[in-house]
Chains A and B, each alone.
Chain A
């Protein structure tokens, strides 16, 4: 459901940034996702109508981008960089440790809904590889011990 508040936020973005409604669709999806955690079929249907698009057309945009979730995710999303420098600096061992520690594979969510683990391309932190992000926070120079420690800050 699109609340009046969300509609207003999207409307003001359209007004400031776009000559037409559909032009705002990516930011509009981000706005909905920030409030609801992910983009459900129902939200996509309502949002598409609000932007004068068809739901499938909107879905075609959503599925293109890394940061738009069409499935529920955990309370925290862990993005592990799997690009070249992190690979050279030990990404494979880190990923193995993380999967074991969390009890899930890349792409999955822990049964308690706390973490989702996803791969991401280079985070631009190559001088402190290996690196990952949890939600909006960058964590660098990772070791298995450091990873276990960091997790405690995300309840």
Chain B
């Protein structure tokens, strides 16, 4: 099985420096693309590869690029913003790639910038990823030294400035337009989606935002072609995916596997199954803002089309396991408490509805719940759903709640009947 994204990553070891990275075939794709391909070739190649955005939404990367205005008469500078603000609870895949092989990300950034003819690229990195910051800073300096960044990259005539932007920290910065407002020195409040950031983004200039994992795939697509990339997967999306598992499994971790690997294979073969003494009960497949799936869903393939058919989303592909010794009501309370705190406060349903949701759940968990609270939670699940709020934060928050009210109904009712949490 090929593992292009992690082939240079050795657990506990320093990442490759630029010389070693080049020796392993690194920056070959930059030479190839910048010298032999025009930007449109690269957009077409990536479109043909079926690469979809790895940040959670799964939008086809080539299609997104194709919306960036091209040619001489467009506003400049154009920007590429790299979303490395990994804050979705339960998610630790971008960290793995940035700490493990920073040059791979930089090479991907150069290619992504070339495709849209960006002048400046920013890595928007979360504050807490201090080791990623250190390693990226060192790798960027090496890449500038070697002429892969700056003006006239590798003699191609293409120039790119790359800068590291370290966030002051807030979950909502992961929403692309909120991220842009934060980079402009404001509160990270989402913008209207029209005009789209690819037309009017950072400082009103064309701006493409790609997730760090998405960009890491580019060197391999350029080197090996679209068919090879599609052949890596077990579904119609292309490539591999960094999957993860956490919770009470024997070997929590992150692994690069063909996209479309089943939940069962990830949990049983790679995460080693459940720890002694606990049983599997449910899983949140792709970070905090995805619906719970049950044992009957274990053979679902983890890809952008299969997971929604089972009633959830692939999200970030990093799963959180609920076991039978852990209270599902308490777990959902923890999730909603998180989302309530992270609401930016801009739109009323989210600002008021999420703290209300968290308060009701706390009451139920602590034995003060009433049966009609369940109806209230169901209504909140509708009132904070897609189309009712300004951005996807609150609907994301409702995903685990709505599914929990269905799957764990009996547990909610038992808390209310017995006026206590049966797990405490």
Contacts and interface: CB of A to CB of B under 8 A. Distances in A.
Nearest to A33: B168
A22 B185 contact: yes
Contact of A66 (B163, B169, B321): B169
A123 B187 contact: no
B185 A84 contact: no
Nearest to B344: A64
Contacts of A138: 128, 130-131
A94 interface: no
Interface in B68-124: 86-92, 94-95
A83 B246 contact: no
A127 B288 contact: no
A79 B128 contact: yes
A88 to B, nearest CB: 5
Contacts of A88: 246-248, 320-323, 326, 331
Contacts of A137: 130
A16 B120 CA distance: 11
Interface residues of B, number: 56
Contacts of A128: 252
B335 A84 contact: yes
B282 to A, nearest CB: 12
Given A64-B188, A126-B90, A83 B127 contact: no
Interface string A86-114: 01110000000000000000000000000
21 contacts: A18-B184, A23-B183, A25-B185, A26-B185, A61-B186, A64-B170, A65-B169, A65-B170, A67-B127, A82-B337, A84-B284, A84-B288, A84-B320, A84-B331, A84-B335, A87-B330, A121-B89, A122-B90, A125-B92, A126-B89, A126-B92
Interface of B: 86-92, 94-95, 126-131, 163, 165-171, 182-188, 203, 244-248, 252-254, 284, 288, 318, 320-323, 326, 330-331, 334-335, 337-338, 341-342, 344
What are the 10 closest A-B residue pairs judged by CB atoms, nearest first? A65-B168, A126-B246, A66-B169, A83-B89, A127-B252, A122-B89, A25-B185, A124-B92, A85-B246, A64-B187
